[in-house]
């Protein structure tokens, strides 16, 4: 019996363990939020509300069915904050470092699990990478909290202001989009450009990916050394690509929002020219996985909301806190299509080629993600017949891309609709392709079979 049990445990793939780790965190969070003292006096929390809130926190999505500021007690808000932090860093990384802190060694399987959790290519240095990730996250979030405290403390007092600043900084960096400011998110700060800039900076830093961070930091450190100590260090092609794609997406999104919303009386018509520009940039940034808003999302014109689905679907960059299919994934598919038209063997950017393995993975991620999101949108409209097409798409794309923006729909969904969004948020965090691999398990003998080519005609 013991040997059989041990063998069964070893048969869990790393994908399955990662998916289960997030599920366990959601269950624990649900139990904690169900405790009576987690809810503010005069409020009640049912199971579905607790489950929804725990899921949106761990999956760093930001969709909520109750107001975080008024519904939850301080204890409940701290639980939500911790769940957001766990979701941003990753359950696997935190668990592994806890074992190290307790002076317990990490097995080879645990190190492989950490490697897969961060999507690294090698097990070498994975523990040091994880430690550095957590240390740098805390540093950036601490700086963000100090900067935003300049806004919150004068407005809310020292204790509440400091907590709100910490909560906001963690939520922004982890791209969660949850706040303790009230039901209107950041609309009251639509003319506070300093606060908007700090928030956008935290969001973008979280979405760039940790490999990009470490690459840029290493390059800068090398440049400031004395000439005799310098090494030949080049910025990785991945870093250049991520920075380029991020800039293009932010700028294009900002232009689109400005053109569509600058004369919209429900959003930006009454703003100054500078205000329209700042809020257009903010909306473009938040589209791609942040979830904060400085203009009412239900007042956005349909063309803006529909265009936003594209930016939600792409999301942030690999190995960061953002959701979506990721910038490089989407770009790899576009580049592959263009290179196929030109009959190039492999797509090339910055004099470096994408491997076919990477291309195949990108194709799988995008197709499965699109099919899952579309299917969930249909299910949402079937279970909530009064919901419009644009609102349903906005809600489900926001959920699977862990964005957290809503056109005032989330709280009004019936129980079936809320369950659908819970599933969407969970799939968005672990990735739809991970779910396929979860049920598929380990490779079987059929993977070794080879088949003759068939005659199929496309196009």
pLDDT digit string, tens, across residues 175-193: 898 988 888 889 999 999 9
**Confidence label for 4 from pLDDT (cuts 50, 70 and 90):** very low
Higher pLDDT, 380 or 113: 380
Closest CA to 416 of 391, 393, 385: 385
Residue 457 lies in a domain: no
CB within 8 A of 6, min separation 6: which ones? none
Percent of the chain with pLDDT over 90: 54
Closest CA to 419 of 48, 151, 129: 48
Higher pLDDT, 125 or 390: 390
Give the C-alpha separation, 33 to 427, whole Å: 22
**Confidence label for 203 from pLDDT (cuts 50, 70 and 90):** very high
Q: Tell me the pLDDT tens digit for each residue of 156-174.
A: 999 999 999 999 999 999 9
Q: Tell me the pLDDT tens digit for each residue of 210-248.
A: 888 888 888 887 777 756 566 666 788 889 999 999 999
Q: Tell me the pLDDT tens digit for each residue of 80-96.
A: 999 999 888 876 566 66
Q: Which letter, b or e, does each residue of 84-103 get, where b requires 16 or more Cβ atoms within 10 Å of its Cβ?
A: bbbbbbbbbbbbbbeeeeee
Q: How large is the angle between the packed helices 91-101 and 108-117, nearest 10 degrees?
A: 140
Averaged pLDDT for residues 22-50: 94
Q: Helix/strand/coil (H, E, C) string of 110-143?
A: HHHHHHHHCCCCCCCCHHHHHHHHHHHHHHHHHH
Angle (nearest 5°) at CA 45 between 40 and 46: 175
Residue 448 lies in a domain: no
Three-class SS state of 39: strand
**Confidence label for 114 from pLDDT (cuts 50, 70 and 90):** low
Give the C-alpha separation, 313 to 323, whole Å: 8
Q: What is the pLDDT of residue 183?
A: 80
Q: What is the pLDDT of residue 5?
A: 43
Please list the residues that pair with 72 across neighbouring strands: 39
Q: What is the pLDDT of residue 446?
A: 53
Q: What is the pLDDT of residue 9?
A: 44
Q: What is the pLDDT of residue 120?
A: 65
**pLDDT surpasses 70 at 285:** yes
**Confidence label for 323 from pLDDT (cuts 50, 70 and 90):** confident
Averaged pLDDT for residues 109-119: 65
Single pTM value for the model: 0.86
Higher pLDDT, 95 or 75: 75
CB within 8 A of 105, min separation 6: which ones? 99
Residue 447 lies in a domain: no
Three-class SS state of 349: strand
Give the C-alpha separation, 18 to 116, whole Å: 9
Please say whether the beta carbons of 402 and 60 come within 8 A. yes
Residue 452 lies in a domain: no
Pairing state of beta strands 348-349 and 352-353? antiparallel
**Confidence label for 17 from pLDDT (cuts 50, 70 and 90):** confident
First to last CA, the chain: 56
Domain count along the chain: 1
Closest CA to 91 of 116, 61, 67, 64: 116
Q: What is the pLDDT of residue 195?
A: 95
Q: What is the pLDDT of residue 361?
A: 85
Residue 2 lies in a domain: no
Residue 453 lies in a domain: no
**pLDDT surpasses 50 at 13:** yes
Q: What is the pLDDT of residue 159?
A: 92
Angle (nearest 5°) at CA 148 between 144 and 149: 115
Higher pLDDT, 450 or 97: 450
Q: What is the pLDDT of residue 3?
A: 47
Q: What is the pLDDT of residue 249?
A: 95
**pLDDT surpasses 60 at 310:** yes
Average pLDDT along the chain = 85
Residue 91 lies in a domain: yes
Question: The dihedral of CA 206, 208, 210, 213: what is its sign?
Answer: negative
Q: Tell me the pLDDT tens digit for each residue of 430-456.
A: 875 565 555 455 555 555 567 777 767
Q: Tell me the pLDDT tens digit for each residue of 401-433.
A: 989 899 999 999 999 999 999 999 999 888 755
Three-class SS state of 348: strand
Please say whether the beta carbons of 160 and 166 come within 8 A. no
Residue 244 lies in a domain: yes
Q: What is the dihedral of CA 142, 147, 152, 158, to 10 degrees?
A: 60
Residue 274: domain span? 13-223+233-441
The total number of residues written for the chain in this structure: 459
Please say whether the beta carbons of 335 and 344 come within 8 A. no
Please say whether the beta carbons of 311 and 203 come within 8 A. no
**pLDDT surpasses 70 at 457:** no
Q: What is the pLDDT of residue 248?
A: 95
Q: What is the pLDDT of residue 359?
A: 87
Q: Tell me the pLDDT tens digit for each residue of 363-385.
A: 888 998 999 999 999 999 999 99
Q: What is the pLDDT of residue 202?
A: 94
Closest CA to 193 of 261, 262, 252, 281: 281
Q: What is the pLDDT of residue 2?
A: 45
Give the C-alpha separation, 312 to 308, whole Å: 6
């Amino acid at each position: 019996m013991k040997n059989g049990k041990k063998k069964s445990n070893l048969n869990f793939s790393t994908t399955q363990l990662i998916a289960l780790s997030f599920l366990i965190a959601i269950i624990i969070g649900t139990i904690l939020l169900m405790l009576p003292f987690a809810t503010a006096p005069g409020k009640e929390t049912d199971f579905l509300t607790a489950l929804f809130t725990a899921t949106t926190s761990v999956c760093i999505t930001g969709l909520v069915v109750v107001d975080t500021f008024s519904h939850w007690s301080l204890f409940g808000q701290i639980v939500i904050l911790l769940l957001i932090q766990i979701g941003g860093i990753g359950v696997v990384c935190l668990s592994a470092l806890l074992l190290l802190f307790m002076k317990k060694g990490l097995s080879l399987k645990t190190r492989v699990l950490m490697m897969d959790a961060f999507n690294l290519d090698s097990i070498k240095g994975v523990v040091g990478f994880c430690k550095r990730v957590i240390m740098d996250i805390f540093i950036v979030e601490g700086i963000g909290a100090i900067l935003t405290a300049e806004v919150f403390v004068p407005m809310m007092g020292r204790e509440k202001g400091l907590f709100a600043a910490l909560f906001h900084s963690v939520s922004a960096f982890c791209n969660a989009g949850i706040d303790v400011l009230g039901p209107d998110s950041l609309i009251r700060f639509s003319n506070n450009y300093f606060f908007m800039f700090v928030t956008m900076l935290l969001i973008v830093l979280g979405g760039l990916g940790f490999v990009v961070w470490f690459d840029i930091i290493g390059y800068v450190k090398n440049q400031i050394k004395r000439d005799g100590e310098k090494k030949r260090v080049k910025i990785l092609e991945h870093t250049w690509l991520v920075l380029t794609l991020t800039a293009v997406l932010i700028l294009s999104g900002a232009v689109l929002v400005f053109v569509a919303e600058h004369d919209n009386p429900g959003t930006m018509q009454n703003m100054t020219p500078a205000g329209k520009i700042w809020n257009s940039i903010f909306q473009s940034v938040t589209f791609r996985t942040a979830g904060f808003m400085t203009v009412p999302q239900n007042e956005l014109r349909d063309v803006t909301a529909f265009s936003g689905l594209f930016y939600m679907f792409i999301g942030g960059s690999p190995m960061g806190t953002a959701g979506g299919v990721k910038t490089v994934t989407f770009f790899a598919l576009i580049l592959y299509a263009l290179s196929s038209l030109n009959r190039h063997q492999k797509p090339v950017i910055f004099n470096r080629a994408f491997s076919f393995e990477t291309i195949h993975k990108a194709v799988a991620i995008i197709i499965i993600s699109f099919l899952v999101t579309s299917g969930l949108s249909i299910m949402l409209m079937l279970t909530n017949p009064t919901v419009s097409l644009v609102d349903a798409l906005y809600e489900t794309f926001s959920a699977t891309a862990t964005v957290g923006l809503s056109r005032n729909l989330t709280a009004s969904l019936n129980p079936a609709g809320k369950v659908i969004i819970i599933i969407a948020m969970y799939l968005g965090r672990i990735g739809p392709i991970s779910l396929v691999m979860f049920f598929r398990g380990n490779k079987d003998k059929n993977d070794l079979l080879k088949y003759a080519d068939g005659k199929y005609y496309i196009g």
